[in-house]
Amino acid sequence: METEQTDVRPVMPQLNKPAPNFEAKTTAGPKKLDDYKGRWLVLFSHPADFTPVCTTEFIAFAQAHDRFQALNCDLLGLSIDSTFAHIAWVRNIKEMFGVEIPFPIIEDLSMKVAAAYGMIQPGASDTSAVRATFLIDPEGKLRAMVYYPMSNGRSVDEFLRLLDALQTSDAHGVATPENWRRGEKVIVPPPATAEEAEKRAAEGYDCTDWYFCKKDLAA
């Protein structure tokens, strides 16, 4: 009789749908997705503890922790390593780099969380999570996801920028242009009808054409 194999092929989550639920051991005790209701969450995976690229990323996330907190956002790491390995690595980062890691790291030896979020990419590895990052809103909906290869580190500043942009769009019903930063003009939704398009020029926006208009949020 053949032995049944565990299927860990990635199941890609969907934007604007509920993020896959989880309950897991972490370096801060048991955590589940519902623990973060009411706050934003950046859930990010890394291939392995005690690796140089991952170490630079964790240092950068730790150094930006207060900036995420100011945006009502928590951080949560994950790799296919044990809690003991996570603790040893966190202690090593503090001892060797002088940086304390202030957020939990999920132990995912079973790869259940990684598989649910599509963090396991067979083209890269069958046993390690790629550098996947998920922004989950206070209602538990997945709002953005970004994947990086194992060889290249992420830009933590980009996730702060994206988080700020998402919150701005939610609060004001606008879109944000390429590389938008707080204080810059935002994009007004284009008219939905010919009549609205005709009126657009008189609405006081900074318009290049009827479909492309910007405004200051203070205006």
Catalytic-residue membership of 213? no
Q: Say which DSSP state 89 is in.
A: H
Work out the burial of residue 188: count CB atoms within 10 Å of its CB; fewer than 13 is exposed, 13-18 middle, 19 or more buried: buried
Closest CA to 167 of 47, 99, 103, 72: 72
Residue 120: strand, helix, or coil: strand
- How far CA 216 is from CA of 152, 179, 182, in Å, comes to 36, 16, 10
> Which sequence positions are flagged as catalytic?
54
